[in-house]
Amino acid sequence: MGHPARVRILRLLSRKEARVCSQIVDELPLAQSTVSEHLRILKEAGLVRCSPDGPRVGYCIDFDGLRRLKALVAII
């Protein structure tokens, strides 16, 4: 997680089925490239999954990954 913007992105994704990057950019005061980088990091961490939506990519929370993170934090 490590960055407040990633927490905000996860909160946005938790309110809706899936969003494309431009929809997230519209709701946050961040550049498109910055949002894309945070989404990439969240995906690599297993907290976000993506699915092609025509020429765009839809992003949503990976609830299995979120549960794993929650279990890990509980152990610590």
In tens, the pLDDT along 18-38 reads 899 999 999 999 999 999 999
Domain count, the chain: 1
Q: Which residues of 30-55 are buried (b: 16+ CB within 10 A; e: fewer)?
A: beeeebeebbebbbeeebbbbeeeee
Confidence category of residue 66, pLDDT binned at 50, 70, 90: confident
Question: What pLDDT was estimated at residue 67?
Answer: 86
Range of the domain at 14: 4-75
Question: What pLDDT was estimated at residue 1?
Answer: 61
**Higher pLDDT among residues 70 and 42, named by residue:** 42
Among residues 2, 3, 27, 1, which one has the least CA distance to residue 13? Answer: 27
Q: What CATH code is carried by the domain that includes residue 31? A: 1.10.10.10
Distance CA 24, CA 22 (A): 5
Tens of pLDDT, residues 38-54: 999 999 999 999 988 78
Residue type, 76: I
Question: What pLDDT was estimated at residue 2?
Answer: 76
